[in-house]
Structure 1
Amino acid sequence: MGKIRINNMSFHTYNGVHAEEKKLGQRLEIDAELTYPIETKVQNDRLEETVSYSDVYKAIEAFVLNHNYDLIESLANNLLHQILTQFPSLEGVKLRIRKYSVPIAGIFDNVEIEVSGGQDEK
């Protein structure tokens, strides 16, 4: 089964539990892995035979910039459902969301969550 990956999409968002996160915002990075039968569907070198990763990027960008949640887990679950609904030819989607400005006293790069699902799980 083929995979289309869009890696390290970066967005300034206002997701978070704390007032500072909602006011100042922070950077989120998102990786999307799209499962699509490239091997059997793409035969004639035509965009109509595949899923446009440009369209998927625009859908992710619009969703992330227009929806704010306390939890990035909620963002991930709702974004997953949106992508599967908007692009029904995808067999599955895996999302990884990284949050960098996390109010935790400690030394680390980021917090990352991962969700995945398929058309049968919408």
Structure 2
Amino acid sequence: MDKIYVTGMEFWGYHGVFPEENKLGQRFRADVTLNVSLKKAGKTDNLDYSVNYADIYNACKIVMEGEPVKLIETLAEKISASILGSFLSVQSCTVKIIKPDPPIPGHYDFVAIEITRERGE
């Protein structure tokens, strides 16, 4: 299966378990990998047979900048459901949510989760 990568997307959201996260907000990053056949797009040079990267970004933005949730796992589930529900040519997707600078004493890099979901699950 062919792949489309949309990586390094950055958003501001109010997600988290702690009240400060919900009040102050923080940066989040997302990477998405789509498994989709790109053969017809490559042969015809026609975007109609691919997936528009801007549309994927917007699907992620709606979730990431939308209603606050406690867990980044929930964000990943919502994004994968949106992509699989909206882009019928996508057979499966992998969504990675990165939380830079998590509120963990002594931890200054990031935490992340990654899920893969397939059409029909």
TM-score, normalization by structure 1: 0.92
Which stretch shifts more, 24-33 or 42-51? Answer: 42-51
Determine helix, strand or coil for the equivalent of 2:75. helix
TM-score, normalization by structure 2: 0.93
Residue 28 in structure 1 maps to residue 4 in structure 2: no
CA distance in 2, matches of 1:118, 1:41: 22
- Which residue of the partner structure matches residue 61 of structure 1? 61
CA RMSD across the alignment: 1.3
CA distance in 1, matches of 2:118, 2:41: 18
Give the Å deviation of 1:119. 0.7
Shift >4 Å, 4+ stretches: none
Which stretch shifts more, 34-43 or 52-61? Answer: 34-43
Report matched runs for 1:30-45 at 5 Å: 30-45=30-45
For the 8 Å contact 1:43–1:49, the answer to whether it is kept is no
Give the Å deviation of 1:33. 0.3
Q: Deviation per CA, 1:58-82: give whole Å up to 9, x if none.
A: 1111221112101111111121111
Q: Deviation per CA, 1:47-96: give whole Å up to 9, x if none.
A: 11111111111111122111210111111112111111011210110011
Residue 114 in structure 1 maps to residue 114 in structure 2: yes
* Runs of 5+ unmatched residues, structure 2: none
- Which residue of the partner structure matches residue 73 of structure 2? 73
Count of matched residue positions in the alignment of Structure 1 and Structure 2: 121
CA distance in 1, matches of 2:67, 2:87: 19
- Which residue of the partner structure matches residue 19 of structure 1? 19
Identity of aligned residues (%): 36
CA distance in 1, matches of 2:103, 2:55: 33
For the 8 Å contact 2:2–2:35, the answer to whether it is kept is yes
CA distance in 2, matches of 1:5, 1:67: 25
Determine helix, strand or coil for the equivalent of 2:96. strand
